[in-house]
Structure 1
Amino acid sequence: MESNYRVVYDKFWQDIKKRDPKEITAARALSYSSYTRQFVVMFFNEEYIVDSAKETIWRKADGYVPDVVATIIILNYLAYAQPLPESAPNWVSIKEIPGGMIFYSAFHKTAISVLIEAFGHQTSRLMTAARSLGGQAGPFGDASVVFRAFPEIPLCVIVWQGDEEVRANATILYDPSIELMLRSAISIDLGIYLAGQLKRLAVEAL
């Protein structure tokens, strides 16, 4: 594990352990067993077991251990759990999230460009790749899909198909409330993670 991720990883586990699990379950759509000291978290349509005693995370269905990026995202979701204010659904780009502009160049290279490469000239592949992640068809672009990274955190992937005259394009939109649930850098990681998973699923479907 890279050193910067290790620091964040250790901090999030300690932050979770310091909190009353009832505070976390009251603020997030998840469950907790005081007997096993385990949370059950929905992450992209899959249940994950978060064991705060052993500091381990695995997928309930098959025991799969998520990669370091997914692990950090899940830990951040728990560590930052606070009640959310009422707000109307909305979509914003990463540039509109506090701190997002700082990371935009890297985000475009590692998320947007990945989506354009995978789906920009065959947008029909997006929905096929999205199904196993719980994606639902959206109303934007030539193809768009709305995902629930967590029950309270939606993301929308949009692709515009390119041809000989028009360049393909893509974007990932967030609900503004994400700034209250994840650090800015982790929000970036979430978009990069989703783009990578969609590309992987598209390749596997070929």
Structure 2
Amino acid sequence: MEEGFPESIAAPGIHESWEVLTGRDPKVVQAAALVDYDPQTCTYHVPCLGQDIAVHVPDRTLSSTSNLGRMLLSHYPEYAKLSILRYMAHAQDRPLSGELVKPSQLPGGDFFVSGTHVLPLPALARRFDGHKAQFVRRGQVLGGKTTDHGDVSLELFPFPRIPVHIILWFGDEEFAAWATLLVDASCQQHMAVDILWSTCMLTLQMLRDENEY
């Protein structure tokens, strides 16, 4: 993996999230995270980039019945597990603000502009430069929809209350292709800035994964 951190580094946060989630009333979690819950199996069903992720509380496991869902969990476990569980543990029953901002504009957002935490947007722009149809198709497979920004843009939902907008401008003779990523300003009510980074990384990695799906 080009960017990331070993899953072992995320282990303490994952353990803490399980502890918090176990202590939350399932009805509160359902309303806050906009997820389904099966009381017979004590399993939450979390929509994540168009995939159903099963969060089984008794044995503390995550699984999916879809190929893309399994890929999300197995290819990017360090992002997926931490982001999913933190979202479940801390999401609030609050509406979207409708205000789109760069993650770096959020309180503590300087996290996104230093060192290895810089999002790989240039790589995404190069990957899809001039390939509008492919960009749209891959976004739609991940449950996204097109929006009217740049040369092509997508709104993706890594989680129901965390929309991520990715805007792409194609390169020309004067300028190289480039991309930007925006989030709803309300995201900070549901997750800390480092978990937002992990969520954005998961979204970008799934979008530009070279595997066909």
Query: Fold conserved (TM > 0.5)?
Result: yes
Corresponding residue for 1:190?
199
Cα distance in 1, alignment partners of residues 112 and 160 from structure 2: 25
Residue deviations 1:58-95 (CA, integer Å, cap 9, x gap): 113468371231111110111002221x5541210011
Q: Is contact 1:129–1:198 with CA below 8 Å preserved after alignment?
A: yes
Q: Indicate the residue corresponding to 2:84 in structure 1.
A: 74
Given the alignment of the two structures, is residue 171 of structure 1 paired with residue 168 of structure 2, yes or no?
no
- C-alpha deviations, 1:20-53, integer Å up to 9, x for none? 2121112221111222111111111111110111
Q: Which runs of 5+ in 2 are unaligned?
A: 1-5
Per-residue deviation, 1:5:
0.3
Q: What is the Cα-based RMSD across aligned positions, in Å?
A: 2.0
SS of structure 2 residue aligned to 1:141: coil
User: What residue is the counterpart of 1:11 in the other structure?
Assistant: 16
Identify if the C-alpha distance between structure 1 residues 5 and 136 changes in structure 2 by more than 3 Å, giving closer, same or farther: same
**Are residues 69 and 143 of structure 1, via their aligned partners in 2, closer, same or farther at CA, if it must alter by over 3 Å?**
same
Task: Give the distance between the partners of 2:117 and 2:61, measured in 1 at CA.
Answer: 28
Q: What one-letter code is carried by the residue in structure 1 that aligns with 2:43?
A: Q
Native 8 Å contact 1:155 1:173 kept in 2? yes
Structure 1: unaligned runs, 5 residues or longer: none
CA contact (8 A) 1:134 1:147 kept: yes
1:9 and 1:181 mapped to 2: Cα distance? 16
Residues 43, 57 of structure 2: 8 Å contact kept: yes
TM-score when scaled to structure 1? 0.89
TM-score by length of 2: 0.86
Check whether the contact 1:94–1:100 (CA below 8 A) recurs between aligned residues. yes
The answer to whether the aligner puts 1:26 opposite 2:34 as a matched pair is no
Tell me whether 1:200 sits opposite 2:205 in the alignment: no
Percent identity of the aligned residues? Answer: 27
Q: CA deviation at 1:103?
A: 2.6
CA distance in 2, matches of 1:114, 1:13: 33
Indicate if the aligned counterparts of 1:162 and 1:169 stay in contact, CA closer than 8 A.
Answer: yes
SS, match of residue 144 in structure 1: strand
Note if contact 2:97-2:184 (Cα within 8 Å) is conserved in structure 1: no
1:121 is displaced (CA, Å) by 4.1
Poorly superposed stretches of 4+, deviation over 6 Å: none
- Separation (CA, whole Å) in 1 of partners of 2:212 and 2:124: 15
> Matched residues in 2 for 1:42 and 1:81: separation?
14
Answer yes or no: is 1:45 the counterpart of 2:53. Answer: no
Partner SS for 2:158:
strand
- Between Structure 1 and Structure 2, how many residues are aligned? 202
1:146 matched to 2:155? The reply is: yes
Could you tell me which amino acid in structure 2 is paired with residue 154 of structure 1?
Answer: P
Q: Kindly report which structure 2 residues correspond to 1:61-140, keeping only aligned pairs within 5 A, or say none.
A: 61=66, 64=70, 66=73, 67-84=77-94, 86=95, 88-105=97-114, 106-108=116-118, 110-140=119-149
The 1:38–1:145 alpha-carbon spacing in structure 2 relative to 1, beyond 3 Å, is same
Equivalent of residue 55 in structure 1, options 33, 54, 60 = 60
Confirm or deny: 8 A CA contact 2:126 2:178 kept in the other structure: no
